[in-house]
A = this chain, B = another copy of it.
């Protein structure tokens, strides 16, 4: 433990994901955490053991987790982690921190990922988080709808009409797909929102 760093140090998202998972389940090993990252956020975010072990070391050095080593004959020591008070505060701070939206797929996925760890939170806070997400997704949806790919057909300087038509068709479909995916996500957020307010 170097210095109690619960404040707002810059940390990779992985650190917070692990912190939240350790908070859900005491005495977890790095190896177990990998499979739970997989099972919980797996569709939206993944991590390799080679990222997890250094991340746990960072968390330990900052005093956000403690560890207990269990010797096992012929095998490397098992390291079981517990969250500290500072760790719980850091996790809480992360969940409440205003989400920094960027217009990328990865950024959108991470917005949804954070939601997975919000069960501990006051539902009102989660609803506020979701509302911000809905607004952002609506605006991104409109941007895509406006930046119509059809206009960009001008870029295609290929004369063969059959090829042009094929590109046109694929790009039209592509745009429709992007819009549909945004609509699905917006809908999904609304569903969760409704369940949170009606509970």
Contacts and interface: CB of A to CB of B under 8 A. Distances in A.
Given A116-B170, A178-B43, A156 B25 contact: yes
Give the residue among A43, A106, A115, A199 with the most B Cβ atoms within 10 A: A43
B105 A157 contact: no
A147 B127 CA distance: 27
B39 A147 contact: yes
A169 interface: yes
Contacts of A167: 119
A195 interface: yes
Given A166-B119, A184-B184, A25 B155 contact: yes
- What is the size category of the interface that chain A forms with chain B? 35 or more
A152 to B, nearest CB: 5
A56 to B, nearest CB: 17
A173 interface: yes
A120 interface: yes
A110 B190 CA distance: 29
A1 interface: no
Given A43-B144, A166-B196, A173-B192, 18 more contacts: A24-B155, A24-B156, A24-B158, A25-B155, A39-B149, A43-B105, A43-B174, A116-B171, A116-B174, A118-B166, A119-B170, A120-B163, A123-B166, A165-B199, A169-B195, A170-B192, A181-B181, A184-B184
